[in-house]
Structure 1
């Protein structure tokens, strides 16, 4: 259900703010999968509580895993791996991690698991992982569509082995197979053939978290091997979501002043860490210290030429910043964004142009020539990143109204409160 439109506040002066962000969605959902398949309980410390992660937790509960809230943490107690006693239905919403990480787990249970989601979810690329799971021994009924909805007929185990897929649409197609692979009888060897896999840092995150849980993982060029074996439980501490820092840190470039995000890790596999150099190239003064990551700006923005293949999720906010810059920008390597929550390239071009901008779609990206913008309604297409981009535009443009702001709860509940709090210092 949609919510009232939100008038995006305009910055009235330089910022001086510290913004404490909740946990990483990508790390939280990977931690939930690994905990569900572990040999002992796992405490997930400071997880993100949002629509995407709650859908993952509920999906695992449907498969027989206990996920209990203990304060802000989650305690995950694996079931007996027998899975549901009867047919169950799992709702993945519009979450790519849920729709691609849960089917391999469902194939390990005994039971009939039907997986479906929001209407747009039925258009997101799923055929590579469906075909791969079949090749590894799973029985899946998708009516030949290669997309949601489909039913997994779990037999309690999965043979595993070698499989070749085209993961150029999403790195999640590889991660979904790797995360469950220690429980496959023969583990897995995944080989990618096709255009480059986007979001390479997310694959590094998957490999690191598997290894931290005790899995044996080998990687090569377009090749990943995971050996069969037990996974450890224990404690998994979730880092702040660095991608969700983009609009807050970018605000310092638009309004001037300073924004700090505390808890920024010195070393991380999160793609959002690329903000350090991207915002510096756009004119920010960026420093990492004991207080966190701080960006200082003077209210001017430089255009950017960048290949964002590895950090596609940052594109909406970077595009909004580019629309406010003093010189043109060219953002490439992001053709795969057409298959995200919405066609993000079309959405960004259409919405910025509707405000008076000049954005041209490229075969693999966007060309943005800054022009004076005016107020208006920004459609968000049920896409949380579009809300964030619209808020950035609103810092400098009077009269921006954001459609269905509540869709941002997909990854960042409380966004509007954080945003107004930042502006109030």
Structure 2
């Protein structure tokens, strides 16, 4: 063989995102001037080059080039041992090509983050939050969640085991938070808490990853709200007024009307009874014919009094109260970076929409703003980077009249990058709103 090549036999350690240079020595044992080309083989070929790309050697001389390895800081480059090869290609005598081999040691690195959404939740019996755990490192991360508040007034229903997040992926864990005691009445109470995301130790050589504290707030509303208490008081007052009207005005009027209605029939019955009694006495005086006379008038005795009847016409009486229809609709808007887009829902003619619930979604993690308008007036304008999913609930409904429009407008600043799937080119947001249509 007229060509020989040699690589360092010891494994070369490299951290993704950094660079390693490995010397490669070539010797020309032939008797002609030889030019050499190089080709990297194996999984490392896509992020490795040989510098210089070609080398010329005189007979019985040696030269050196460098294999430059630059693994990207990406989850697709796992830690561990990686075998590679460099094919040395003589131009004059290609049959004398050779392939020296080496070993790369890819070191582990950690890139861990977590986020709590929404930052604030409201409810009488608690609220459900969501912890988004991102693993942008190159090895799986096992994360344990725990919750704590300063006054120990809250209960956290968290998974008992750790959550394993694969490299380049994200995991979403529901975090139900409930107060230990109900608030029956009074002003709402604010509870500040933290959810701690603690990653476990990684493989050998991996750096230590510090835990992440996620701040959250629970606004506990009273079970009996001031509006409900006022409604109950008004209902009691109304029942008292109606009872007073019945016993003070309506009941005497009804009794008087009933007496007047039966007055004439009672007089007629009394007159017939007196006539029957007189005829019976006359028949008794005449003798013999008394039985006949009594029998002929038997059907008109004093007990045969007519009873008045009350008739009710069908179709009369109070009509049914109109019932509101439950309503829900979803609007989606998308825009490129630096652009704006809107989606609109128009309330039908002769209808009123009572908006009580609204859920905003930012599945890609875009940055920018989303504006919710009712009748051309802005209602909400939260920043997209502050949430992945956020919900709103109103005790006093927001009204949208006939032909008014509910508009969702997205202003895209930066398009987000989801943990998996193709990279999007547009910001995307959605709004689910619900209530009643009357």
TM bin, normalised by shorter chain, reads under 0.3
Higher helix share goes to which structure?
A: 1
- TM-score under structure 1 length normalisation: 0.19
Task: Give 1 or 2 for the bigger CA radius of gyration.
Answer: 2
Higher strand share goes to which structure?
A: 2
Q: Which has the higher contact order (CA 8 A, sep 6+)?
A: 1
